Structure 1
Amino acid sequence: MSVASHEPEATTNDPHDGRGLPGLRENRLFPLLSTLVLTAVVLFLFWSALSSVFLALQVKQLDPEGAAGGLAKVLAVGAIGALLSAPLAGALSDRTRSRIGGRGPWMLGGAVVTLVLAFLIGRASSTTELMVYWTLVQASTNFIFTPLLVHIPERVPLARRGIFSAGLGLSHLGGMLLGSAVGAAFATRLTVGYLLVSVLLVLAVTAFVLVNRRSNVGTPTSAFRLGPLLRTFWVNPVKHPAFGLVFLGRFLFMTGFFPTTVYLLYVLQDYLGLGDAAVARMPAVSLASLVGSLIGTPLAGWLTDRLRATRPLIYASSAIMVVAFVLPLVFPTFIGLLAYSFLIGLGFASFGAVDYVLITKVLPSQDDAGKDLGIINMTTTLSQTLGVGVAGALIGAVGSYAVLFPLGIVLVSLGAVCVMFIKGVR
C-alpha cells in the first residue's frame, strides 16, 4: 500500500450518462448496493447503540449527579474528532494505492481500531477516559464512513444514484432502530454490548471491502498538499449569501433536533419518571420515529417533484417539528413522548427529503460541488458539538430536561426563518 495522490479510483461507467445502462445486477452495482447498505446499517447501529444507550448509561454510572453535563462533554468533544477526521480520511484514501483499492485499507484499519477502542470504552473508569476513547472512535469510524460514501460518486452513474441515496437513508433509519434495540438488550452488560456491535462492524466492513475490491496500483499520483485541503473548509458567505443562509438554517435546524435525540434516555428516566424501566421503552420510541420517517421521506420527495418547490415543504417540516416539541410539554407521559417521536420522525424525514434538493440549487459552483456539499455536511457535526453542549448547560442551569423542547422550538423556527430570506429559490 502507498499514499500519494488526489486521483480517484477508476469508475466502471461514465457517471454523467445514465442512458442505456444495464440493470443493477448486470452492471455489478447490486453487490455494491447490497454491501454498502449492510455496512451502513451496521455502522449506524454502532453509533446509535453507543451514543443513545451505552454511553448514557455508563456516564450515569460514573457520575450520577452530573450525567447530563458529562454526556454533553463526551459527545461534544467526540464530534470535534469526527469533524477533523472526515476530510483527512477522504484525502488519505484518495491518495492510497493498493491491490484492494484506495478506500479498502483505510476502512479495514478503521474497523479494527474501532474494535480495540470499543473494548477500552467498556473498561473506562471515568468520564475523561470515555471522552478520549469516544473521540478516537469518532475518528476511526469516519475512516470507514467517508471512504464508504465516496464509492457512490466514483462507481455509480448519475441515473442509478437515486436508489443508492434511498438505500443510505433507509439504512440510517434501520440502523438507529436496531441500535436502540441492541442497546436495550445489553444495558446490563455494557462490555459485551460494546464488543458485539464492534465485531459486527468489522465483519460488515470486511465483507464490503472483499466484495468491492479493485486494484488501483499504477494509477497516476501527485503530492499531498495541506493548503488545498484546508481551503475545502471555506465558502465566502458574503459572495454566496444563499449558500450561507442554507448553511446557517441547516445548522439551526439540526441543533434543534439533535439534543432531544441524544438525551432521550434521560428524558424517559427523569422527565417522565420511568427510572430503570426507561431502557426497555427505548425501542418503542425509536419505532414510532421510524414509522413517521417512512411516511415523511417518500411523501416529501414526491411533493418536491410535483410542486417543483422546496421552501414550502421546509416550512411544513418545521411546523410539524414545532408541534412535536410542544407535545411532551403539554402531555409529559409516555404516550405523549410516542406522539412526539412519531411527529419528529415525520418532520425531520420530510426535511431531509427536500434538504439536499435546496442545497444543490444554491451551490456556488458545480465544479466544486463535492467540496461545497462537504462544507454543508459539517453542519451535522457542528450541531452535535455545540447543540449538545448548549443543551447540557441549559439542563444544568434549569434543572430539568423539559428545557430541551422549547430549545428545539426556537432553533427549528429560526432555521425556517433563514430559508425565508434565500432569494431566487422557490
Structure 2
Amino acid sequence: MLAGGSHRVSSRRLSARRQLLLATFWFGISFVWGALLAVTLTFLLVPEHPGPGNPLLVSPAQKNTALTVLESGGLLVAVIVQPAAGALSDRLRTRWGRRRPVIAVGATGAVVCLLLVAGAQAFLFLVAVYCALQFCMNIAQGAYQGLLPDTVSAAQRGGASGFLGVATLSGQVVGAVAAGVIAPRTTCLLIAGVVALTSVLTLAGVPERPAGAAVGDEALPSRMLRQPLRAVRGYLAEFARYPDFCWVVFSRFLIFTGLAGIQRFAANYIRDTFPGSYRLFGFDLGSAQTTTSVMLAVVILCGLAVTYPAVRLSDTVGRRRILVAAAVAGACASVLFFFATNVTQVVLFALPAAVCFGMVVSVDWAFMADLAPRRRAGKFLGFSNVATAGAQAAAPTVLGPVIDAVNARSVPAPGVPGSAGYRVLFVVAAVFFLLGAAVLRRVRTTHLAEADDELGVLPAPAALAT
C-alpha cells in the first residue's frame, strides 16, 4: 500500500558486515554492466567467430551506430524508470519494508531478460529485450539506492559509500574479465546468476523496519495518470529547493559522459586500430575480445585501489576537491589516448582514467547522499540516474554515428578499417571531463542539516563546500 508519514534514518551504527551486505547488490549491478556494456554486447552484435547460433547481427561497418541504437534505447528507458521507481519506493509500505519488495521484483525480471538476451538471433529482438532488461534493472536500482540513506547514519555515510565504491569497481572488473574469457551468450547466463545471488544476499542481509515507510500522498499515482504533465512538473519542482544537489548531478552527467564514451567504444577502438596486434607488455592476447577484457580489468583494478582512500580523504578535504581532481585526471587520459600507437600504451595511458573512475564512483555518490533530503532519498538518488544512464545514452548516441562516418573516410587500404573516428571521441571526452570539473564550482554547501530536513523545510547550509 501507499502511505503518508515520515521516515527517520537510523541513528544506530551499522556493522561492517551489514555494510558489506548492503553493497553486495551493487557488485551485482556493476557486474551486469561491466560485462554487458563493456564487452559482451559489442561481440554479440559482431562476433569475432560468427557461425550457426551465433550470427552477425549487424554489418561490421555499422557496428558503432548499431551499438548506439541498442544502448541508447535501453538507457533512455533507464533515465525514466529509475527515478520513478525510487519515488514509488519512498511511498510504499509493506511488512517487508518499502525498498526490498521493489528490488525483488526488478531483480527477478532482470534475470528473465538476461536469459532472453543470451538467445537473441536478430538485432531488433536484442534491442527489445535489452530495453526490457534496463526497465527491470532500474526498477530494482531505483529502490536500492534509497537503502543507504535509510539504514546508514550521516556519520557512517562516507565509509558506507566507500564500500559501495569498492563493490562498483570490483563488480566491473570481475564482469569485464568474465566477459573476456567466456563466449558472449554464455556470459549472459552467468550474469543472470550473479544478479539472482547478489540481490538475495542484500535482501536477506539488510532488513527494513516496516514502520520506515513513506512520505507523500496516496493520490499521487492516480494523479500522475490523470494529469501527467502537471505531475511531472510537480515531481521536478522539489529539486529546485536543492540546487547544490542538482549541480552535483549535472557534474556527474558530464564526467560520466566522458567515461562512458571511452568505455563503450574501447572494444571497437582496439579491434579497428590494432587489428591482429594484441600484444600487451609482450604477451599476445590473441583476440580483441580478450584484449578489451584484460585492459578494462587492469584499469578498473587500479581504480579500485584509490576508491576507499579517496572517499576517506574526501571526509577531510571535502568531496568537491576530490571530484575536481578526478575530472582533470580523466581529461589527461583522453589527451594521452590520442597519441597511443599500441595496446600497451593504451593501458598505460588509461591509468589516469582509472583514477578518475575510482574517485567518482565513491566520492560523487557520497556527495549526493550528503545533499539529498533523507525523507526523499529514494526519489533524489533515483533521479541521479538521469546523470548516470543519461551519460551512458548520450555518449553512444552522439558519438557512434560520428565514429563510423569518420572511420569510413579514413580507410588506409582496402579491407583495413579506419580508426580516425576514435580520435574525435577522445577530444570530445576531454571536453566533457573539464566541463564536469567547472560545474562543481557552483556547489556551495557540503551537506544538509539533518534536523531541518526532518522538519520538511528548506534546509540551511551545514557547511560551505571546499
TM-score (norm 2): 0.76
1:194 aligns with 2:149: no
* 1:93-108 correspondence to structure 2 within 5 Å: 93-108=89-104
Determine the structure 1 residue equivalent to 2:438. 417
Q: What is the rounded CA distance, in whole Å, between the counterparts of 1:219 and 1:301 in structure 2? A: 29
Answer yes or no: is 1:113 the counterpart of 2:109. yes
Could you tell me which residue of structure 1 aligns to residue 268 of structure 2? 266
Matches within 5 A, 1:32-43: 32-43=18-29
Contact 1:186 1:193 in 2 (8 A): yes
Q: Deviations over 1:325-362 (max 9, x none)?
A: 1222212211111112221011232345554576678x
Alignment partners' CA distance in 2, 1:156 and 1:7:
20
Change beyond 3 A, Cα 1:93–1:350: closer
- Which residue matches 2:351? 342
Counterpart Cα distance in 2 of 1:136 and 1:52: 19
Assess if the C-alpha contact under 8 Å between 2:27 and 2:171 holds in 1: yes
Distance 2:159 2:373 in 1: 25
Q: Determine if the alignment matches structure 1 residue 254 to structure 2 residue 263.
A: no
1:14-413, aligned counterparts within 5 Å? 15=10, 17=11, 21=13, 24=15, 30=17, 32-60=18-46, 61-63=56-58, 64-187=60-183, 190-213=184-207, 216=210, 222-225=217-220, 226=224, 231-234=234-237, 245-274=247-276, 277-301=287-311, 303-308=313-318, 310-311=320-321, 313-352=322-361, 354-355=363-364, 371-399=379-407, 400-413=421-434
Partners of 2:2 and 2:218 within 8 A in 1: yes
Q: Which runs of 5+ in 2 are unaligned?
A: 47-55, 225-229, 278-285, 408-420, 445-463
CA shift at 1:62, angstroms?
Answer: 0.8
User: Is the 2:86–2:378 contact (alpha carbons within 8 Å) kept by the matching residues of 1?
Assistant: no
CA distance in 1, matches of 2:236, 2:263: 27
- Quick one: percent identity of the two aligned structures? 23
**Matched residue type, 1:5:** A
> Is the CA contact (8 Å cut-off) linking 2:68 and 2:397 kept in structure 1?
yes
Secondary structure in 2 matching 1:39: helix
Q: How many residues are treated as equivalent by the alignment?
A: 407
Instruction: Kindly provide the CA deviation profile for residues 50-98 of structure 1, in whole angstroms up to 9, marking residues without a partner as x.
Output: 1122211112231122110111111111111111111222233344444
User: Shift of the alpha carbon at 1:297?
Assistant: 3.0
* Gap runs ≥5 in structure 1: none
CA distance in 2, matches of 1:374, 1:315: 23
2:317 and 2:202 map into 1 onto residues whose CA distance is 38
Residues 315 and 94 (structure 1), Cα distance of their counterparts in 2 relative to 1, 3 Å cut:
closer
The separation in 1 between residues aligned to 2:262 and 2:70, in whole angstroms, is: 16
Deviations 1:141-190 (A, max 9, x none): 12222222222222222233333211111010000001111111222xx3
**In the superposition, relative to structure 1, how do residues 140 and 287 fare at CA in structure 2: closer, same or farther (>3 Å)?**
same
Q: CA RMSD in A?
A: 3.3
Q: Matched residues in 1 for 2:204 and 2:243: separation? A: 44
Partners in 1 of 2:437 and 2:214 — Cα distance?
A: 46
* Structure 2 contact 162–308 (Cα < 8 Å) conserved: no
TM-score by length of structure 1 reads: 0.83
